Amino acid sequence: MKNTVKQIVLLFLKNSIRMLSLLFAVSIISFALVSVSPIDPVQQYIMGIGPVSEEQRAEIEAYWGLDRPPVARYIRWLSALFRGDFGTSLLYRRPVTEIILERFQNSLVLMLCAWGVSGIIGFSLGCVMGMNQGKWQDRLFRKLCYFLSSVPTFWLGLVFLLLFSVRLGWFPVGFSTPIGMRNSEVRIWQRLHHLALPAFTLSLMSFSDIALHTRQKMIDVMNSAYVLFARARGEFGWTLFVRHGLRNTLLPALTLQFASFAELFGGSVLAENVFSYPGLGSAVSAAGLHSDVPLLLGITLFSTLFVCIGNMTANLLYGVIDPKIREAQS
């Protein structure tokens, strides 16, 4: 027992160090990329406020520290980061941290719903396919999975929007709350009503991966010696599935699901844009289009942190829960 705790702590530390090094590298790379950009943020800023004289322009540049060399600017930016200051968004004229936290709440609800739905649907489909390998269920669902992986998410979102919102009028056309209502007045079911379509679209994107992976695992399990023995004892169908199939496929599926945060976030950028959902995804594309450098950098770092936490959870899950791997490591 004591050994296990020690191992968990060790694994956690190792993963944390790796995560910090990755975050540090991402901060350097993203800052370098933004610095070499020929798009001039000052020009973009000025376009927003009207004609400006040369002196005023120089003053803005000095205020933002743009007259200094890139390395000095990077160090200044990084030290501000450690104090929790991500700068001020040019687009929304508010502190970046405030925007990220507010929008992340919206995005998190969306991604969590999609993540859960795609995980449950994907895992169940994978189990059905794996238990019925080669039968019609397997072939049908496998075709469906392969087909869905060549359908772009945003187009699917557009089609759903046309069908369910414009044609049938079942769901609202966009945003996370009814238009013209204050945030405090919005009921929970209204939020869910606005959330349903984007979350469903996003979940459709990612479930084929998990389904195909679970199918493969299930086939491996069903071909194993212990299942052969179980069959010889007379187990079949549901009992066989619960006692052997489910237990041995659940963990790999869960791990894969945690490791898919990058695709989840990438998909949410598109889904949020299609449904005009006010989350991080629509903020990052707007920040890039309107040259809002502080916001773009902030969201890049934040999304990397999000993905890294997912990957770390996946690693820990594998190392901690699975006794086979835990004992192999010690």
Partner 1 sequence: MKKLRQWLFHWQQWKTPLLPMKRLNVRTKAFALTVILFSLIVTIYGVGILIPQKAVATDFAHAKQPPSWQHLFGTDNLGRDILVRTLKGMSVSVTIGIVASCISAVIGILIGIAAAVGSRFWDSVINWLIDLIMGIPHTVFIILISFALGRGLKGLLAGIAATHWASLARLIRGEVLQLRNQHYITVSRRLGKSGSWILIHHMLPHLVPQFLVGLILMFPHAILHEASISFLGYGLPPEQPAVGIILAESMTYLSAGMWWMAVFPGLVLVLIVWLIDQLGENLRRVIDPFHAQE
Please calculate the CA angle 102-103-104 and round it to the nearest 5 degrees. Answer: 95
- Residues of this chain, 125-164, that bind partner 1 according to CB under 8 A: 146-147, 149-155, 158-159, 161-162
The piece of 100-108, 180-188, 228-236, 259-267 that touches partner 1 (CB under 8 A) is 259-267
> Strands, E, within 212-329: which ranges?
none
Query: Would you say 240 or 274 has its CB closer to partner 1?
Result: 274
At which residue do the structure tokens 């990438």 appear?
A: 266
Query: Would you say 57 or 142 has its CB closer to partner 1?
Result: 142
Quick check: 75 binds partner 1 (CB under 8 A)?
no
At which residue do the structure tokens 């169940």 appear?
A: 124
Q: Determine the size of the site formed for partner 1 (CB under 8 A).
A: 52
| Residue 163 C-beta: closest distance to partner 1, Å | 9
Cα distances (Å, whole numbers) of residue 229 to 22, 195, 201, 244, 303:
46, 47, 42, 11, 47
Cα distances (Å, whole numbers) of residue 55 to 40, 41, 90:
17, 17, 20
Quick check: 68 binds partner 1 (CB under 8 A)?
no
Quick check: 221 binds partner 1 (CB under 8 A)?
no
Please say whether the beta carbons of 271 and 198 come within 8 A: yes
Which of 11, 15, 27, 34 contacts partner 1 by CB under 8 A?
34
The piece of 53-61, 232-240, 246-254, 307-315 that touches partner 1 (CB under 8 A) is 307-315
Q: Is 182 exposed, middle or buried (0-12, 13-18, 19+ CB in 10 A)?
A: exposed
The piece of 54-62, 88-96, 234-242, 262-270 that touches partner 1 (CB under 8 A) is 262-270
Distance in angstroms (rounded) separating the CA atoms of residues 173 and 162: 9
Quick check: 73 binds partner 1 (CB under 8 A)?
no
Query: Would you say 36 or 188 has its CB closer to partner 1?
Result: 36
Which of 96, 114, 270, 314 contacts partner 1 by CB under 8 A?
270
Distance in angstroms (rounded) separating the CA atoms of residues 7 and 219: 32
Which of 171, 299, 315, 318 contacts partner 1 by CB under 8 A?
299
Quick check: 30 binds partner 1 (CB under 8 A)?
yes
| Residue 38 C-beta: closest distance to partner 1, Å | 4
- Name the nearest CA neighbour of 313 among 2, 12, 10, 9: 12
SS3 content of the chain, % helix, strand, coil (to 5): 80, 0, 20
Which of 10, 13, 17, 33 contacts partner 1 by CB under 8 A?
33
Quick check: 39 binds partner 1 (CB under 8 A)?
yes
Quick check: 21 binds partner 1 (CB under 8 A)?
yes
Distance in angstroms (rounded) separating the CA atoms of residues 231 and 218: 15
Distance in angstroms (rounded) separating the CA atoms of residues 319 and 108: 26
Binding stretches for partner 1 (CB under 8 A): 18, 21-22, 25-26, 29-30, 33-34, 36-39, 146-147, 149-155, 158-159, 161-162, 166-167, 173, 262-263, 265-267, 269-270, 273-274, 281, 284-285, 288-289, 291, 296, 299-300, 303-304, 307-308, 311
